[in-house]
């Protein structure tokens, strides 16, 4: 038995800020490009689908290397950043355009925020990311740190599955009727079709990125000298703890 390196109190990491920045950038840019659709292999998809899974990939890396506490903190930062950015976009969109500004329609198309879709998106992100991180941390303990590919894909299936199950029904079936926008509501058949196809595509992208995930995880564990196992972690998403302070030392078999 060998003791796994754990974070020590008040320790700073060389790459944690970089991983956090990429995570939040992927989250924010996926919302920015979401208004554009593209046709790929006969399927019409939102191009944001190519960016949003990056947040799950880097969410997996955060949990695998730095542990659930660090991941929880970054998820909250991402949630707050997305909410603030969406509020700014919305306020700028509804501000009266100057007489010489001719691009209001284009501005609205790209940055205009529909409140109920925003609410659905933030709700789905919050629940999905925490489910992803929780499953990743628990599977690491169950597998004793082995089979990283199984953990990344398994946690993505759960996280993206929950995200899709929350977002699409809320954004395109429930909220439009609840907020009196019946013309924006999809039929349940279309909701299910789009939700299913996008879910499988997101999981496929996660699987295809597995070699990249392996490389980054191995690099970070070696560079940071840390590999956290969340044996005694409080998984409550609303509990805020110092992510650099371990609950207790843990051991994994050699």
Q: Is 36 in a helix, a strand, or coil?
A: coil
Structural contact between residues 56 and 156, judged by C-beta atoms closer than 8 angstroms? yes
- Burial label for 99, CB within 10 Å (0-12, 13-18, 19+), is exposed
In which band, very low, low, confident or very high, does the pLDDT at 254 lie, cut at 50, 70 and 90?
very low
**Lowest pLDDT segment from 86-90, 113-117, 120-124:** 113-117
Dump pLDDT digits (tens) for 142-154: 999 999 999 999 9
Q: How many domains does the chain divide into?
A: 1
pLDDT score at 252: 43
Residue 8 lies in a domain: no
Residue 81 lies in a domain: yes
- The chain-wide mean pLDDT, for the chain, equals 86
Residue 157 lies in a domain: yes
Written in H, E and C, the secondary structure of 1-32 is CEECCCCCCCCCCCCHHHHHHHHHHHHHHHHH
Max intra-chain CA distance, the chain: 72
Dump pLDDT digits (tens) for 52-72: 788 889 999 999 999 999 999
In which band, very low, low, confident or very high, does the pLDDT at 23 lie, cut at 50, 70 and 90?
very high
Tokens of 151: 């953990």
Distance CA 224, CA 83 (A): 31
Average pLDDT value for residue range 165-182: 88
Question: 129: closest CA among 167, 173, 175?
Answer: 167
Dump pLDDT digits (tens) for 175-224: 888 887 787 788 899 889 888 988 998 899 889 999 999 999 999 999 99
Cβ atoms < 10 Å from Cβ of 92 = 12
Structural contact between residues 81 and 144, judged by C-beta atoms closer than 8 angstroms? no
Average pLDDT value for residue range 2-28: 77
Does residue 253 register a pLDDT over 50? no
Residue in the structure block whose two tokens are 């529909």: 114
Residue 7 lies in a domain: no
Structural contact between residues 195 and 42, judged by C-beta atoms closer than 8 angstroms? no
Tokens of 119: 């609410």
Average pLDDT value for residue range 9-29: 86
CATH number of the domain to which 121 belongs? 1.10.1760
| pTM of the full structure | 0.85
Query: For residue 59, what are the domain limits?
Result: 14-96+104-226
pLDDT score at 54: 87
Residue 5 lies in a domain: no
Structural contact between residues 168 and 121, judged by C-beta atoms closer than 8 angstroms? no
Structural contact between residues 161 and 195, judged by C-beta atoms closer than 8 angstroms? no
Distance CA 137, CA 213 (A): 16
Residue 161 lies in a domain: yes
Structural contact between residues 197 and 43, judged by C-beta atoms closer than 8 angstroms? yes
Tokens of 241: 């703890």
Residue 27 lies in a domain: yes
Contacts of 27 by beta carbon, 8 Å cutoff, 6+ apart: 52, 55, 78, 81, 82, 125
């Amino acid at each position: 038995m060998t003791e796994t390196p754990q974070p020590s109190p008040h320790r700073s990491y060389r790459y944690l800020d970089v991983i956090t920045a990429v995570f939040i950038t992927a989250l924010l840019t996926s919302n920015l490009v979401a208004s554009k659709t593209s046709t790929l292999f006969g399927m019409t998809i939102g191009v944001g689908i190519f960016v949003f899974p990056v947040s799950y990939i880097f969410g997996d890396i955060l949990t695998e290397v730095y542990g659930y506490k660090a991941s929880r903190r970054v998820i909250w930062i991402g949630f707050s950043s997305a909410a603030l950015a969406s509020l700014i976009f919305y306020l700028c969109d509804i501000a009266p355009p100057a007489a010489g500004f001719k691009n209001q329609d284009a501005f609205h198309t790209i940055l205009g925020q529909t409140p109920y879709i925003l609410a659905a998106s933030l709700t789905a992100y919050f629940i999905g990311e925490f489910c992803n991180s929780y499953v990743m941390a628990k599977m690491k303990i169950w597998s004793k740190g082995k089979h990283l590919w199984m953990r990344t894909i398994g946690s993505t299936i759960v996280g993206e599955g929950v995200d899709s199950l929350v977002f699409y029904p809320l954004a395109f079936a429930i909220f439009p009727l609840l907020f009196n926008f019946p013309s924006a509501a999809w039929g349940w058949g279309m909701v299910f079709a789009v939700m299913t196809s996008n879910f499988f595509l997101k999981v496929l992208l996660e699987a295809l990125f597995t070699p990249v995930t392996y490389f980054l995880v191995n690099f970070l564990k070696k560079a940071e000298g840390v590999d956290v196992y969340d044996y005694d972690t409080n998984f409550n998403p609303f509990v805020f703890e110092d992510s650099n302070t371990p609950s207790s030392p843990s051991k994994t078999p050699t």
